[in-house]
């Protein structure tokens, strides 16, 4: 039986490279579904994949992870199309208007965080967030909450007794506890929504393991390293793009795909690294997270989930009332 793999944000960068890599390993054994917000870009990605793997089975699905209704609609469609999902890659992500915080950089130079600052950008990468039409902060909604809702909606195809399914989050080494505020999980008051959302996804992955392992669903977190994509070109000084591409090795990680999910450490982030001699390898590193905070976040996300579901129902009710009143009396 073919394994079903769904990748969010699959039309470019890491998501697309992952799809390419998965198909290179196993063209015949996979049913791949590219879940993307822009269907034209998704079609272009599908064509590119089919050019290199003509026998591959590649389906498309429209989904905007920042939109509640889009995620709900996409989840319905997935449940109609597939009996079960083997792998769900939670990869779609944004880092809008990235800025380099010069003041924080000079402060960091004289602090004990200097090494982490250079290695991970802690404290020096800020972004400008916005609000979605659902009233959520966009980075939080796109990178974290839309994915959380998707998982919750897809329980019937992810949890099967006796079988395992795997969630794989594309996190980042820029996921820092210092950027995350439990009282402000959407990061409404800060300037590092990206780091906050990635730290929250590390916490959430741990909580998902606590709540879903018994049902055969496992969650892990990866860090792809620094990869030259649309997302990262925005951060770097405007050298010619090819220079950066040459300078930065492309780290790769489809390694988790081959691991038994039960054997993975739920508190580790799997980093994709390259040695000085160009050898690619994967290294698990303990995340700076704890069970209590992960549980508390999980609870907050569940509360938010019931709020948005309630709003969604009200919206649908109003919509159907509007349709009825437009149809007018006697129109049936």
Ligand X SMILES: NC(=O)c1ccc[n+]([C@@H]2O[C@H](COP(=O)([O-])OP(=O)(O)OC[C@H]3O[C@@H](n4cnc5c(N)ncnc54)[C@H](OP(=O)(O)O)[C@@H]3O)[C@@H](O)[C@H]2O)c1
Using the rule CB under 6 A, is 123 a contact of ligand X? no
CA dihedral sign, ordered 266, 267, 271, 276: negative
C-alpha distances in angstroms, 15 versus 56, 108, 262? 17, 33, 24
Q: Smallest gap, in angstroms, from Cβ of residue 31 to ligand X?
A: 20
Among residues 6, 68, 92, 167, the one that binds ligand X under rule CB under 6 A? 92
Q: What are phi and psi of 283, to 5 degrees?
A: -135, 125
Stretch binding ligand X (CB under 6 A), from 46-54, 58-66, 278-286, 324-332? 58-66
Q: Smallest gap, in angstroms, from Cβ of residue 84 to ligand X?
A: 23
Cβ-Cβ contacts under 8 Å for 124 (sequence gap 6 or more): 100, 101, 104, 105, 108, 117
Using the rule CB under 6 A, is 170 a contact of ligand X? yes
Closer of 245 and 316 to ligand X (Cβ): 245
Stretch binding ligand X (CB under 6 A), from 36-44, 81-89, 254-262, 272-280? 36-44
Q: How many CB atoms lie within 10 A of CB 8?
A: 27
Structural contact between residues 190 and 137, judged by C-beta atoms closer than 8 angstroms: no
Structural contact between residues 62 and 33, judged by C-beta atoms closer than 8 angstroms: no
CA dihedral sign, ordered 60, 62, 64, 69: negative
Q: What end-to-end distance do the CA atoms of the chain give, in Å?
A: 47
Closer of 8 and 267 to ligand X (Cβ): 8
The pairing of beta strand 99-100 with beta strand 87-90: unpaired
Using the rule CB under 6 A, is 66 a contact of ligand X? yes
The yes-or-no answer on residue 194 being catalytic is: yes
What CA–CA distance (Å, rounded) separates 193 from 140? 7
Closer of 142 and 216 to ligand X (Cβ): 142
Q: Smallest gap, in angstroms, from Cβ of residue 250 to ligand X?
A: 9
Which of 194, 199, 218, 270 is the catalytic position? 194
Among residues 3, 12, 274, 312, the one that binds ligand X under rule CB under 6 A? 12
**Residue with the two structure tokens 């449940």:** 79
Using the rule CB under 6 A, is 204 a contact of ligand X? no
The residue count for binding ligand X (CB under 6 A) is 30
Site string for ligand X, 217-246 (x = CB under 6 A): ------xx-xx-xxxx--------------
The site for ligand X (CB under 6 A) is made up of 8-9, 11-15, 36-38, 41, 63-66, 91-94, 142, 170, 172, 223-224, 226-227, 229-232
Active site residues: 194
């Amino acid at each position: 039986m073919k394994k079903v793999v769904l990748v969010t944000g699959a039309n470019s960068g890491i998501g697309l490279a992952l799809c390419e890599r998965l198909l290179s390993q196993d063209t015949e054994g996979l049913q791949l579904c590219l879940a993307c917000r822009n269907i034209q870009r998704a079609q272009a990605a599908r064509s590119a994949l089919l050019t290199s793997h003509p026998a591959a089975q590649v389906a498309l699905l429209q989904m905007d992870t920042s939109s509640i209704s889009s995620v709900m609609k996409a989840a319905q469609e997935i449940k109609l199309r597939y009996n079960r999902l083997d792998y769900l890659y939670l990869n779609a992500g944004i880092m809008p208007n990235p800025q380099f915080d010069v003041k924080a950089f000079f402060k960091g130079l004289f602090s004990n965080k200097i090494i982490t600052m250079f290695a991970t950008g802690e404290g020096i990468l800020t972004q400008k967030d916005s609000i979605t039409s659902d009233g959520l902060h966009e980075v939080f909604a796109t990178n974290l909450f839309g994915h959380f809702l998707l998982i919750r909606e897809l329980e019937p195809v992810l949890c099967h007794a006796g079988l395992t399914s795997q969630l794989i989050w594309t996190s980042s080494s820029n996921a820092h506890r210092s950027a995350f505020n439990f009282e402000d999980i959407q990061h409404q008051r800060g300037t590092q929504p990206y780091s906050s959302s990635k730290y929250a996804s590390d916490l959430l992955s741990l909580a998902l393991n606590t709540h879903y392992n018994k049902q055969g669903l496992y969650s892990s977190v990866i860090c792809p390293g620094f990869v030259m994509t649309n997302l990262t070109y925005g951060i770097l000084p405007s050298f010619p793009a090819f220079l950066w591409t040459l300078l930065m090795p492309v780290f790769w990680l489809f390694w988790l795909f081959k691991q038994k999910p039960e054997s993975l450490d739920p508190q580790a982030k799997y980093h994709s690294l390259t040695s000085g001699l160009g050898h690619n390898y994967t290294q698990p590193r303990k995340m700076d997270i704890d069970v209590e905070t992960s549980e508390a976040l999980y609870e907050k996300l569940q509360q938010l989930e019931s709020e948005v579901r309630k709003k969604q129902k009200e919206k649908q009710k109003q919509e159907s009332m509007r349709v009825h009143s437009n149809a007018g009396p006697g129109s049936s």
